[in-house]
Structure 1
């Protein structure tokens, strides 16, 4: 397995884990009071938008040539960092 393939699998696994976290946050949002639920749902929407950006980066990475994937990897790392920060922010707001 190449480094590129291993990295793709790692990102996919992280995205799968993140989806499980988003599902948990959605369940918590449903049980919140009306005003809090609106805020939480907006936070989830922002998180899902960032997740979609990450999925697009993963697709771009998968579609890239072996020579170009290092450049795309850097962008994927930045997108993942942003997504991780958004998840942490959402988790802290849902306590």
Structure 2
């Protein structure tokens, strides 16, 4: 997959909004939402935080150091993407 690093920040904001909406829906459902729904929101929040941290780290270093950070950033990105793609995860 070819990553477009410049577009990642926008995608991270979009995912954050989706996670927030899901958290609100889960909260509104109350006890009926169940443990799994709450755990899913928590997992998405954690994966998002990791991806965002990797993204910030990537842009905070010089060009030469970025090459070594690409695998970590791609891994965090793919984990978050997979979590959104598989609601039953």
TM-score category, normalised to shorter length: 0.7 to 0.9
Alignment-derived partner of residue 3 in structure 1: none
Alignment-derived partner of residue 24 in structure 1: 21
RMSD: 2.1
Higher RCO (CA < 8 A, seq sep 6+): 1
Gaps of 5+ in 1: 1-5
TM-score relative to the length of structure 1: 0.76
Measured in 1, the distance between the counterparts of 2:20 and 2:34 equals 14
Measured in 2, the distance between the counterparts of 1:30 and 1:69 equals 39
Alignment-derived partner of residue 38 in structure 2: 41
Which has the larger displacement, 63-72 or 25-34?
25-34
Aligned length: 86
Alignment-derived partner of residue 79 in structure 1: 76
Measured in 1, the distance between the counterparts of 2:8 and 2:70 equals 10
Measured in 1, the distance between the counterparts of 2:37 and 2:84 equals 12
Alignment-derived partner of residue 53 in structure 2: 56
Q: CA deviation at 1:27?
A: 2.4
Q: CA deviation at 1:21?
A: 1.0
